Structure 1
Amino acid sequence: MSKRKSSSSELPNKKQKKNTAIYITNLSPEITFDELNSVVSKYGLVAEDLSTSKPRIKLYQNEDGSLKGDALVVYFREESVQLAIDMLDETELHDKVIKVQPADLNYKVEKEPQPIKQRTSREKNEILKSVNRLNSKLADWDDDDIPATNPKYNNIVILKNAFTLDELQHDVTAELDIKQDIREGCEEIGPVTNVVLYDLEPDGIISVRFQHQQDALECVRQMDGRFFDGKRLEAGLYDGTRYRKSHKEQDDQSRLDQFGEWLEQE
């Protein structure tokens, strides 16, 4: 059987370029480079400019130097783009609701580095250091490299700033509503077996126990830095710290258990 010759009209499709960047609009004119870097780096490793070693984040400016309110962020991995969009789009930052979308691939024309052959030996060494540093940071994002403080705590996530003591004092239904909202949000990640609100902790602490360790790790990744009811959450694996709570929840559960036993006897 003779091989079929391909004509010019049957050329293979070019591999589609990967988009690793997001475009953010409606930013506050008060936002700083470091603040934006702190926010976007929660959802992936931000690429570095190989010449300056600075994160590839561009805050667009007007002719007078004031900020326009939009920015470009280039990640190291394509997967970070959708995660950043899911977690940041329509969220509040500096009292403004920002919009996040995939960046136009044309940004690469502007940011493409110069060919290596035009660089000096010193510049090449600096680039090599930057690449090695990026690879090291990238390893920190691998789930297998997240340190485990204690194996029995690996499926428990601690959320801070989930509420204020003032909220609990002025609304008798606040505790139940907050726990329900947290549970529903976390169950989108994986099965949750327990949620505890520590109503004596001024840092607004809630613990969430997942059925699987992998879901707990993903919860930390998604929830850390996320806004909940206007408050910026801090998320991390439980380290064994004892947190304080009143016993009213236990008393309520005891009454429910007694009522259940009474029903069974009847």
Structure 2
Amino acid sequence: MSATARKTAPMPADIKARKGGVPLVSLTAYTTPMAQMMDAHCDFVLVGDSVGMVLHGLPSTLEVTMEMMILHGRAVARGLSRSMMVIDMPFGSYEQSSQQAFESAATLMRETGAGAVKLEGGQHMAPTIDFLVKRGIPVMAHIGLTPQSINTLGGYTVQGRGAQGDIMMEDARAVAAAGAFAVVLEKVPQGLADRITAEVEIPTIGIGASAGCDGQILVVDDMLGLFTAFKAKFVKRYAELGQTGEDAIASYAEEVRARRFPGPEHVFADAAPKGGTRA
């Protein structure tokens, strides 16, 4: 993304200032063409570690590496001029120490041009968030269902019911106090999401949370019907491109086997047409 284009994109402070205003719109992106499609419509675009499952066929996000995030981050950056890019910090790149987190975050931002990083965790990650923010790394927090912790959470289950709700409220307060400019709430009960949204001073970004959040995010391949391995309750399919694509491939295969493709309009004549064209 050019320096001129970057000036038009929101900054983390702009996203934070949208608290309580018109809802923020976000989607994930992993490739340049997809980023180009959403650039005019999203306030920020997340290069999510969900890329491991969606594009690489991995069983979870735990095997995603820094190299994968940098590769896809660079691709997304080429497709954005109006949206801010946020990039996920992959599992194992920030949990060991605040210094490790800084080195990883600085590498991701330097190598991709991202405007901010996102990391998972509540109260226990607040000191790390504080460390990063004080050193110039804008941080988007992520609480509730944190996919990098599925082995300790017991799977992709709803978080924050019953007594867990008070703990999650403290998580939200802690990451806000530490300096995060926004917080993702994933797969939490609607009432709890509304409480957090009302009580913390930073925007809440819902995914399986509440329409009352300050913004929403979905995995783009989920909402377009491209990723069909499973469908979460909170996903609304705005298209079924996966089925459309499969039907198109089936038609192509049928035409090739029947020698209907390529047709006369898809092949070249033995002699070039008059006029010097290359048709």
Q: Which has the larger radius of gyration?
A: 1
Normalising TM by the smaller chain, what interval?
A: under 0.3
